[in-house]
Structure 1
């Protein structure tokens, strides 16, 4: 059976592998180690150092993706399935967002803090709900659509390298004093890699209401990619989604029930994408093993 089918079954039935054995965790450890070693200097030096860090992490991801070719069957097959599954996270994304569905604000705040980078301490219930839904929409692209898109194009190396770049952006791609230049290359590379997948993610929402999806998509002018899935999720739910001081999409105030509705839309969009990937897989050249 194709490694993609087994990787999908692994994800849906078993979820994520142990953290110590997860390639994305390895990427994170490598990024953190290299980040700590570099003492910030002038912008040009920081940029070049960040560029080298990104190359090192990408090279590591590429090397991992080649390992199955040097192992005998069935070890090569098992490792390829394991590595491909590690590049996407369908079930765990659902589970993390589902944990935010609670009437206890303290528990909700704790659960939301696990899936967003913003400070949630001062957020009220509607903004906690918004943050949960926003994370689901954004990560539908980052954790599902994009890695499988690059798997379609470039096989296992494409999926793992995308995940490495996405991890780089998540860890050092910030616009602040520490990472403005050190993380700039990683942030811009992540923008480039997500440009097409983010818009594919938008297309998956068209069956839920073409006019409102297009209307909200046109409002998504705050960021290059990440606000696009958030905008269309806001459209299909009919609720406002807001990151204070950054963006706000119109609608009624979000309720706890809307997180459940968002998760239903999520599964429909995931199903659409998986069916499309399986259909297209046979038409592209260069898939692994």
Structure 2
């Protein structure tokens, strides 16, 4: 099976249709499986919780691998159809734009509601500039998590790479918290996500260089707050020239962002998406990966 064809069809699906229904979305399945084990494990102490969380992650990752191998055993054209569907489920270009664009509004209540759907922080305590900042931060961070990283691992390991990354990222989003419930249960998923995102986060910064030049590198050097997630945010802040801040965690300099800056961020987003899509397509066109054949 031609991997470039699968990628282009998955991309076309994403741009024209968007996300599959939740009932049949593999990422939702990953989350439900993790939730099943999370709810049934009564916390018993650091080591038992760590082992239980690690086992939970391994079960979800093995499920992702099993899904990714199904196209190997199907005849044409079912193998193509399933491979396109599964690859599409690993990345989200259109839906990320749609979610962030809802934050562009003069109604502060609607803005708070829209931003609360894409960030975990309490939006009721944020002023307008920090609401706008949160929306742009979410766009920048999720560009890495939802576009760059899954396709990066698709390039390296084919469909199993894309789905395993998406499963690991989902596990981190659900379990990777530093609180009493998840401090040890979510330790392995959190560290795995850190490891898998180390290269993609820095690759994301490189894609901003044509748009922001040396200022991107300057802001990158300021991004010392987190291992990965603040790197794409720093690059977006540099390109836009606006302040992006999560109070108590990180702050990149600039004026307070306005609605127009969210629109600008979305335009920047499509430019870097285009860069990445071209890179992926060119690489697939010049290299043959046997990831979708037995």
Please say whether Structure 1 and Structure 2 have the same fold, judged by a TM-score greater than 0.5.
yes
Separation of aligned partners in 1, 2:90 and 2:55: 22
SS of the equivalent of 1:190 reads helix
Could you tell me which residue of structure 1 aligns to residue 65 of structure 2? Answer: 62
Residues 124-167 of structure 1: per-residue CA shift (max 9 Å, x gap): 11111000000000001000000000000000000000000000
> Where does the alignment leave 5 or more consecutive residues of structure 1 unmatched?
none
1:108 aligns with 2:127: no
Separation of aligned partners in 2, 1:66 and 1:285: 14
Answer whether contact 2:241 2:255 (CA < 8 A) is retained: yes
Shift of 1:284: 5.5
1:142 aligns with 2:151: no
Answer whether contact 1:100 1:111 (CA < 8 A) is retained: yes
Could you tell me which residue of structure 2 aligns to residue 286 of structure 1? Answer: 290
SS of the equivalent of 2:139 reads helix
Separation of aligned partners in 2, 1:200 and 1:283: 20
My pick for the range that moved more, 273-282 or 52-61, is 273-282
Could you tell me which residue of structure 2 aligns to residue 89 of structure 1? Answer: 92
Separation of aligned partners in 1, 2:26 and 2:45: 32
- TM-score, normalised to structure 1, is 0.98
Separation of aligned partners in 1, 2:75 and 2:210: 45
Separation of aligned partners in 2, 1:152 and 1:223: 26
My pick for the range that moved more, 141-150 or 113-122, is 113-122
Separation of aligned partners in 2, 1:199 and 1:284: 25
Aligned equivalent of 1:53, options 52, 56, 61: 56
Separation of aligned partners in 2, 1:191 and 1:181: 16
Shift of 1:280: 1.1
Aligned ranges for residues 146-225 of structure 1 at < 5 Å?
A: 146-225=149-228
Residues 205-249 of structure 1: per-residue CA shift (max 9 Å, x gap): 001122100000000000000000000111111111011111111
Structure of greater relative contact order (alpha carbons < 8 Å, 6+ residues apart): 2
Residues 57-110 of structure 1: per-residue CA shift (max 9 Å, x gap): 000000000111122211111011000000000000000001110010110111
Separation of aligned partners in 1, 2:67 and 2:166: 12
Answer whether contact 2:30 2:60 (CA < 8 A) is retained: yes
Answer whether contact 1:152 1:287 (CA < 8 A) is retained: no
Could you tell me which residue of structure 1 aligns to residue 15 of structure 2? Answer: 12
- TM-score, normalised to structure 2, is 0.97
Could you tell me which residue of structure 2 aligns to residue 76 of structure 1? Answer: 79
SS of the equivalent of 2:125 reads coil
Say if 1:285 and 1:78 are closer, same or farther in 2 by CA, change over 3 A: closer
Separation of aligned partners in 1, 2:61 and 2:183: 20
